[in-house]
Amino acid sequence: MHEKSIAILNRALADELAAVHQYMYFHFHCDDQGYDPLSNLFKQTAITEMMHAEDLAERILFLGGEVEMELAEPVAKVHDIKGMLAKAKEMEMASVHDYNQSALECAANGDSASKQIFEKLVTGEEGHWDNFDTMEMHLEKFGEQFLALQSIERSKSMGGGGHPGA
């Protein structure tokens, strides 16, 4: 009875797991470059995506399904900030589209609880998109100075000593 919902939930789980990996990859590179606010944004978004994955997995198990742990796509090896933000926004908009469709499919299957999970996810993904869009607007408006100021603030907070543990 719930096979369709389980498949839909596992597809979303694969997307969320891919997002966790992608955003942690971006976090590592931003942290390495000293861009703390952006690094923290990617890290916090990855943590939120992990919680989304947990909600999906719990629902799959409740429905008697098997939790699949494959990633929807491999990590994109993007190193420039503009490319990272563009990739993040692209991923979030794809999730919004997919999760809206998934909510409709679950409703059509008579699975209102899964529908509600997807509706909640849509709201979260739209918030992530907005956060990335705001960062992108700051970068476009202030250019490289925006990133340089982040590096300067990091250096000041560390007594000019560079990266922690260095």
Residue 131 has a pLDDT of: 97
The CA-to-CA distance between both ends of the chain, in Å, stands at 56
Q: What's the distance, CA 104 to chain centroid?
A: 22
Coil, strand or helix: which one is 160? Answer: coil
By the 8 A CB rule, do 162 and 155 touch? yes
CATH number for the domain whose boundaries are 3-154: 1.20.1260.10
**Residue showing tokens 């609880």:** 113
Average per-residue pLDDT for the chain: 91
pLDDT at 147 over 90: no
CB burial string 123-160: b at 16+ within 10 A, e below: ebbeebbebbeebbeebeeeeeebbeebeeebeeeeee
By the 8 A CB rule, do 82 and 135 touch? no
Binned at pLDDT 50, 70 and 90, residue 149 comes out as confident
Domain residue spans in the chain?
A: 3-154
How many residues belong to the chain? 166
Q: At how many degrees (to 10) do helices 81-108 and 36-62 cross?
A: 20
pLDDT digits (tens, 9 = 90+) for 25-53: 999 999 998 888 899 999 999 999 999 99
Question: Pseudo-torsion of CA 132, 134, 140, 145, nearest 10°?
Answer: -100
Coil, strand or helix: which one is 4? Answer: helix
Higher confidence at residue 153 or residue 99?
Answer: 99
Using a 10 angstrom Cβ sphere, with 0-12 exposed, 13-18 middle and 19 or more buried, the burial of residue 86 is middle
Residue 166 has a pLDDT of: 46
| Type of residue numbered 114 | S
Task: Residue 150: name the closest of 43, 26, 34, 32 by CA.
Answer: 34
Residues 6+ apart with CB under 8 A from 86: 136
Residue 146 has a pLDDT of: 77
Higher confidence at residue 48 or residue 138?
Answer: 48
pLDDT digits (tens, 9 = 90+) for 74-106: 999 999 999 999 999 999 999 999 999 999 999
